[in-house]
Amino acid sequence: MRKYLGMGTNALIALVLAITMSQPGEVSGQILNIERERMQRDTAKAWMVNGTIGVRLYNRSAAADSPVDMFGYNAGLNAVYFSEQHSYAAIGHLDYLKINDNDFLNFGYMHLRSHFFYKNNISLEVFAQVSYDNFRGLDPRALAGAGIRKRLLDTKRSTLHLGVGALAEGEWWEHPETEESVNVQYLKSTNYLSFRYSVNDFVDFNAIGYYQFGYDRDLSVPRHRTSGNVNLNTRLSRYFSWTNSFEFSYEDKPIVPITRFIFHFKTGLTISI
């Protein structure tokens, strides 16, 4: 975090605004919220794809001797292919921000997932992921795993799913104070609970909670991670909706000394035309 020292007031303001406007796909860079990105099949289509791309440019200063040049970009991909029995998904996101000569945000991931027998009450998921979060010192994280997905509830207004699985992961961290590289590998259990409830035709609520557990053999201690996302969407009219989202992540024993609990709250008006 030493790179923040000595910045001018204009640059600091630009950084705060840029981070506020940026919307990375995962609050922690640790547990990808795959359930939030999952798309439901349109029975008339085998392929479903959506993507976003954006660029941010800023060159404005109150003083000639304190210039602020900001450059950033973000891109996202969500693609799913449905066969009669199985589905295959690719989800990716990039978010980069540079102010003057300093890189402040450099976040991204690519997630691949196969969902076998997705129509069944009990189904199998196989997944792999590569991610990085230079802002927090993670570059990269790689994992692969598999799990069972169980449909616990499925009504006209409500759905509840439980996922239980295991993964192998490797992480490469940079210590924020010594800049020393730290590499760890773990076998972990990975579990999630996903709930969606349509209150009525106008209000929709959904929440997802993740829990990962691994054992650090070098230190002889267990390591726990939890992550969650809660969304409340209200349709105000045919064209306008009010969206509220709260994300959080907690890690009890970080590999390097970083903030254990982080969160991100977003609220705003969505216009659909």
pLDDT of the residue at 163: 95
Q: What is the tally of structural domains in the chain?
A: 1
Q: What is the CATH number of the domain that holds 76?
A: 2.40.160
pLDDT above 90: percentage of residues in the chain: 42
Backbone conformation region of residue 100, classed left if phi is above 0, alpha if psi is from -120 to 50, else beta: left
Which of 14-23, 36-45, 96-105 has the largest mean confidence?
A: 96-105
pLDDT of the residue at 196: 92
Question: Six-digit token pair at 136?
Answer: 């927090």
Asked if 268 and 251 count as a contact pair (C-beta separation under 8 A), the reply is no
Question: Could you list the residue range(s) of the whole structural domain that residue 105 is in?
Answer: 2-271
Which of residues 232 and 35 earns the better pLDDT score? 232
Work out the average pLDDT over 25-44: 54
Q: What is the pTM of this model?
A: 0.76
Which of residues 189 and 135 earns the better pLDDT score? 189
Banded pLDDT at 273 (limits 50, 70, 90): low
Smallest CA-to-CA distance from 208 within 26, 24, 51 is with 26
The whole-angstrom separation of Cα 106 and Cα 69 is: 17
Per-residue pLDDT of 129-159, as tens digits, reads 999 988 888 989 999 999 999 999 999 899 9
pLDDT at 232 over 80: yes
Mean residue pLDDT of the chain comes to 82
Count of CB atoms situated within 10 Å of the CB of 235: 17
